[in-house]
Amino acid sequence: MSRSRRERKDSVDVTVLAERAAWADVLEAAAPETAAAATREAAYATRFKKAGLGTRRAGAKGVFRRDAVAAARVGSQRYGGAPPPLKHALPEVLMVGAANAGKSTLINALCGAAPASSAAPASASDRAGWTSGLEWIRVGAKPPVLYIVDAPGYGSHAVASPRERRDWSRLCAQYAATRATLSAAVVVVDATRGVCDEDRRELARLTATPRVIALSKCDLLQGPATVARCARLVEEAVGGAAVVPTCGTTGAGVAELWAKLRALCAAAAVKQTDPRTVAVHRSAVL
């Protein structure tokens, strides 16, 4: 099965379809209760239409790209192991999400790689839950800009044993609590299924880190008005985190997400005693 498929067949089972049907009912029924909410939702719909969200057709520029930017996996960490030795001290962006939420596709889009490109750095396969540890992806080469840290997908749709899931959870918790260069975290939420309990758990775990919710798979929603309603409901459900609708396959919304992550990395203070590390961190994001 080609990696260029929109979704993996083994991951879209009857449970996923049921979750999507239930969330679609919520989106249809949850009209704004206040004038302010209605105004916000209408403004979102106008903005998302311009961005090409809510459609399966790629915009004029296709997948978000940046000139002369290289991305590559540079190290990994498994539960019980040590973080990889890294050549550059850079801000790090942690990417977490439920298995089959579209996290790897979104990471590749952030790196400027099309989903089926051989240069796509994030692991993707026909099996949900393919990533089995933390994976460091360096974005940029001359100069390097930041690291994206790809975490294993959580939830019942990951193909992993209960022990593996517990180990992954502990690994991510340890990383989030101790990593000095962690500057921002992205929780990838499947826009076709809404916020799950595991998403809320990750958001609660990451309260000490600037957080962004990336709504993925927005091309599978029915138009920009539905994307706008989804974004409003997610904002109301998990207050305190910015919500950015995206689509990794068309590139819609990815430029906005990238700009937000760059801003968060530039504003972060790295808590390390080595002045050189702090200097490199600041210069890398300017």
Tell me the residue ranges of DSSP E strands in the chain.
71-77, 92-97, 134-139, 146-150, 182-190, 211-216, 242-245
Instruction: Please answer whether residues 87 and 142 qualify as being in contact, where contact means their C-beta atoms are separated by less than 8 angstroms.
Output: no
Q: Are 189 and 23 in contact (CB under 8 A)?
A: no
- Average pLDDT for 27-53: 95
Q: Using one digit for the tens of pLDDT, what is the confidence trace for 131-182?
A: 679 999 999 888 889 999 999 998 877 777 888 889 999 999 999 999 999 9
With a pLDDT cut of 70, the percent of the chain lying above it is 80
Range of the domain at 130: 9-284
3 lies in some domain: no
Query: Is 186 inside any structural domain?
Result: yes
What is the model's pLDDT at position 76?
A: 94
pLDDT class for 83, splitting at 50, 70, 90? Answer: very high
Q: Which of 45-49, 183-187, 275-279 has the lowest mean pLDDT?
A: 275-279
Q: Is residue 106 part of a domain?
A: yes
State the DSSP H helix or E strand holding residue 64, giving kind and residue range, or none if neither: none
According to the per-residue pLDDT averaged within each range, which of 125-129, 217-221, 238-242, 250-254 is highest? 217-221
Confidence of residue 60 (pLDDT cuts 50, 70, 90): low
Q: Is residue 53 part of a domain?
A: yes
1, part of any domain: no
Contacts of 69 (CB under 8 A, 6+ apart): 111, 112, 139, 140, 141, 145
- Tokens, residue 56: 């399966």
Confidence of residue 62 (pLDDT cuts 50, 70, 90): low
Q: Which stretch, 59-63, 230-234, 238-242, 275-279, has highest mean pLDDT?
A: 230-234
The pTM of this model reads 0.87
pLDDT band at 66 (very low <50, low <70, confident <90, very high): low
Residue 32 backbone class (left: φ over 0; alpha: ψ -120 to 50; beta: rest): beta
What is the count of structural domains for the chain? Answer: 1
For the chain, report the end-to-end CA distance as a whole number of angstroms. 41
Q: Does 2 reside within a domain?
A: no
Kindly report the CATH number assigned to the domain that includes residue 40: 3.40.50.300
Residue 4 lies in a domain: no
Q: Averaged over 251-277, what is the pLDDT?
A: 77
Residue 145, domain member (yes or no)? yes
